[in-house]
Structure 1
């Protein structure tokens, strides 16, 4: 098996999925499960410069189905991937939000070694992102690294902290605007729509 510079298998194809929706609503009046309101899916294999083609398709759909001058906010719920962030350059006025799945994944990676105090540490990290500065967040990350018993744990904390810092504004919006910014179901859609 060959791998490229980015450690991806050279014999793989990455299908990309973007979906537009207007909100979420319960599946039925008493259901705890939700469904997307008016979803529309875009998918295909786009590499490098072809990503612009995907985002142009998304924009054309938005422009033909909505009066964009009246749309107050368009959120881009994502994991911070480069191809996804390139959509911000193609569609004006998009606000990036770090999706809940990836935010929680990296918070868990940073705190799982703490056992009984892991919840408290995650809350402290979230508070630092939500209301603090990058320096506040890095201070909490530093405290977590002191508690690491192995180099592997310390490295995991450092890499996870770097991920959140590289998506700082998007993570901040996710935590501050929970009422406005709805969750993201991308991971489930990749499994169900693309499979």
Structure 2
């Protein structure tokens, strides 16, 4: 990301680049946490960083609209194409899994800044088109969240079923692989 910003020969702290840096900040913090923190502390950091990740995206959109920032290099194509659908509707909800209720509320909250960003950047020709695209992103994010929860429940049920079928030998449900005398 930083290489892309420097290649564009733009000031790194320009408002347009600030949008990109804001969206990357939670990921950078968790990546640095993985490198610098003990394992258990990092495992506590990751779930705590879910909501700040979503907030950073909404804050970046607000900064872009408020400051009238020109989009960073490649951002307009991201907003016009499938990039925003895949990133905010599929990858982000799967990587930062929320409860279905929280995901539904967040999808509603994100709709306004998303539509405003699409309109301000010129990625949408009308308010109707911007709202429709944001609604599709919200529905896709909600479907992704529900699918991930259903998949985890199915995996857990399979694990419980497999564990229940194992022969018990008095070792707490874990089959003994060696002869015990």
- TM-score normalised to structure 1 length: 0.27
Higher helix share: 2
Larger radius of gyration: 2
Higher relative contact order (CA 8 A, sep 6+): 2
